[in-house]
Structure 1
């Protein structure tokens, strides 16, 4: 996410290294590179120019604190300005209605239908809501089928009327159905087009007027850059939507849309899509995103994801096993599964301060644990529960069964032993700190 922009900004700040004070000369050179980095990221020229002017005004003549270098002070100023540019505060979704009605808008191919499912799953699992998905794309039967597939996948009911060609009627009937059957959130997925046209705008405006949604979200493909910003403006002029959803931020995006869309339409980014899975959805936090763009990681989001997978009862059982020296490979496998549920590995690594930069040329795949899992699955139940019985012959058999080398089995055994000793020493916070300990267990096993 924003790898190129992060690298270029890092090079820009490098200009200030070794200087004891921010001056007109060195700040001008730095900001020239910052502006160039933003333009390369597909940020609008005027916005990039205004941004660097504000940074310059704050930076010129600033005294360097005793614990800071000029480069660090500039990073702080840029971080604060980036945060403001992307909205400043985190904006929540309005769920005040009963049912709360959320209208989805956007072009065809922006990921609108998939995101409708992600949002329904998010509200169901994290907000304890009972959502209803509504298929209002009357032009593409495939869109209705797609929404039903998504609904089945996440266990959420989908309301559709395949024979009805009136989107307003379908939406109104769906709301009646929701009220009669105890649904407290209605998510209306509307038709998209390949480009903005009058017919499309009239139809969604009619749906909007008829159902009076509590929340109207504009879904946009972040990889389309400034085109995304221009499309957002066209929709906002007609719908006056409440917030923006940026999809496909996990791709090789230049980031211009994420950085500038708020300043153009003056509406907050509320959610981002970070992958294809139904749980690949994050609330957008401008400050955290600014940290990530500047290569500072996002520890808060990482901890939140870990807490979502944290089971206190399981942690207590695990702590007892550690105290009795009964921690085995089955327990190890369970922890791997919990880490995998937190999201794709590249995204997780990007949340660790400094890790993204240190590993920028390392390919981190979602199947980073596949060799470890294969080795553990090749062990017998007794070997997994009592690793100490695994001798040379057993290692040869395990390596053959897992399609790995004996050296890799030895490496896993050594790291497992080290981690077991570490957790034994940690004891007091073994369960809570297990994620940290797991870092050593995965090193070198990819």
Structure 2
């Protein structure tokens, strides 16, 4: 996500910081580089023009405080304007769903076929279930039977309820029946997955307009594929003209190295980007933070998104159970070590975590190191799975013959088993030193906080 733009912007930032003072000449040169970086990232031309003018105006009137160089001051202006283009601080609350209405709160999903609407419904349902909401989903796509089946599958995976429909029914009738069911069964949220087309057409717009009129949803979310680039902007504008959208969900940002659509759709439509899809998994949906995204583009990391991701991945019950065990004198064992690996996996793995860190904390060799780290985590998990329950709780049982059996079961060399046991012993030594305040801090930080201690 944003790889190309981030690389260009990071180079520009480094150049700016090397400037002793800000002049009209070097400012023009740097803004030219910024303009090219944005255009290469597929940001819409009107957005680029407005952005450059805003930065230019702010830079000319900016006072450079003593602690900053002029270059650093311009970097700050670029960061603030990037955030403003994508929504700014004023939309912090708007980025979350507004569901404070008489239940069920209705979320109407709109978008073209293939944009990822159905998967996004599943992701939203999972997110809301984690917030202890009772969720019902329904598909009014009567043109593709596979769409109804797909929604049923992802709804079950999200542990939400599914309202059945079929291709013989009218979309508005299905929606009204689902709403009636949701009211009678005290559902908190009803998510309506609408039909998509390969292209925008009058029939599609008339149908979704009728659905909106019948349901009066609390949220009308437009789901758009970020990989469409300029077409994403045009499509978003067409839907925004036809519907009173409340927000946008950008999908497939993990598959687009440019990410220009994220910088364009809010500016063009005036509606906030509420969520971004960052993987095909049901937990691959992140709240969109304009300031954090601006920081990430400039290579400064998105620590707020990282904290949210960590919080969602933490199993509080498991964390507290582990802390109670240690307090009572229980030994840290390989089951606990395995739980840490699973915690990292739930948080998206190494790549998903590291991409949100500032550039200086990311590995210099890039993706190859990340891939190696992911493979190592999977290998370690496989080794532990090859052990017996007794071996996991009493690692001292694991001698030469057992190591050979474990290695064969996991498909690795004995040296890999030795390496895992050495890492485990380091971790166990560390847990023995945890007393009072440190243990309380870990309880507040959650079980996942152990991941950084390896």
How far does the alpha carbon of each residue in 1:188-216 deviate from its partner, in whole angstroms, 9 at most, with x for none? 11111000011111111111112222211
Does residue 429 in structure 1 map to residue 442 in structure 2?
A: no
- Report the 3-state secondary structure (helix = DSSP H, G, I; strand = E; otherwise coil) of the residue aligned with 1:369: helix
Report 1:355-394 matches (<5 A): 355-356=361-362, 358=364, 360-362=366-368, 364-365=370-371, 368-394=376-402
Query: Which moves more between the two structures, 372-381 or 198-207?
Result: 372-381
Which runs of structure 2 are paired with 1:1-400 in the superposition (5 Å)?
A: 1-60=1-60, 62=62, 64-88=64-88, 89-90=91-92, 91=94, 92-95=96-99, 96-126=101-131, 128-319=132-323, 321-322=325-326, 324=329, 326-354=331-359, 355-356=361-362, 358=364, 360-362=366-368, 364-365=370-371, 368-400=376-408
Q: Say if 1:18 and 1:75 are closer, same or farther in 2 by CA, change over 3 A.
A: closer
Deviation at 1:46, TM superposition (A): 2.6
How has the CA–CA distance of structure 1 residues 320 and 206 changed in structure 2, closer, same or farther, with 3 Å as cutoff?
closer
Separation in 2, partners of 1:421, 1:277: 35
Task: Tell me how far 1:379 sits from its aligned partner.
Answer: 3.0
Post-superposition Cα deviations, 1:291-324, rounded to whole Å, max 9, x if no partner, equal 2222222222222332334345543443455564
CA contact (8 A) 2:143 2:195 kept: yes
Question: CA shift at 1:74, angstroms?
Answer: 3.0
Counterparts of 1:132 and 1:313, CA distance in 2? 26
Distance in 2 between residues matched to 1:215 and 1:370, nearest whole Å: 39
Give the distance between the partners of 2:324 and 2:172, measured in 1 at CA. 59
SS of residue paired to 1:229:
helix
Q: CA deviation at 1:66?
A: 4.7
- Rounded to whole Å, the distance in 2 between the matches of 1:21 and 1:426 is 50
8 Å contact from structure 1 (residues 218, 232) kept in 2: yes
The structural deviation recorded for 1:72 is 3.5
Match of residue 403 from structure 1 = 411
Deviations 1:373-399 (A, max 9, x none): 122223343432233454455444433
Measured in 2, the distance between the counterparts of 1:311 and 1:44 equals: 42
d(CA) in 2 for partners of 1:29, 1:2: 22
RMSD: 2.4
1:158 and 1:311, CA in 2 relative to 1: closer, same or farther beyond 3 A?
Answer: closer
User: Structure 1 regions of 5+ residues with no counterpart?
Assistant: 442-446
Q: CA deviation at 1:246?
A: 0.7
Q: Deviations over 1:65-100 (max 9, x none)?
A: 454444443332211111111011222222123211
- State the alpha-carbon separation in 1 of the partners of residues 165 and 451 from structure 2: 49
Superimposed CA distance per residue, residues 341-382 of structure 1 (whole angstroms, 9 cap, x where no aligned partner): 122432211122234463534263565511111222233434
Contact 1:218 1:244 in 2 (8 A): yes
Unaligned runs of 5+ in 2: none
Structure-2 change in CA distance of 1:21 and 1:255 (3 Å)? same
Note if contact 1:59-1:77 (Cα within 8 Å) is conserved in structure 2: yes
Shift of 1:232: 0.6
* Distance in 1 between residues matched to 2:109 and 2:333, nearest whole Å: 48
Q: Structure 1 residues 12 and 151 mapped into 2: Cα distance closer, same or farther (>3 Å)?
A: same
Tell me if structure 2 keeps the 8 A contact 1:247–1:272.
yes
1:27/1:60 contact within 8 Å kept: no
Distance 2:425 2:280 in 1: 36
Give, in angstroms, the shift of residue 436 of structure 1.
4.7
SS in 1 for 2:221: strand
Kept in 1: contact 2:286–2:305 (CA 8 A) = no
The residue that corresponds to 1:439 in the other structure is 452
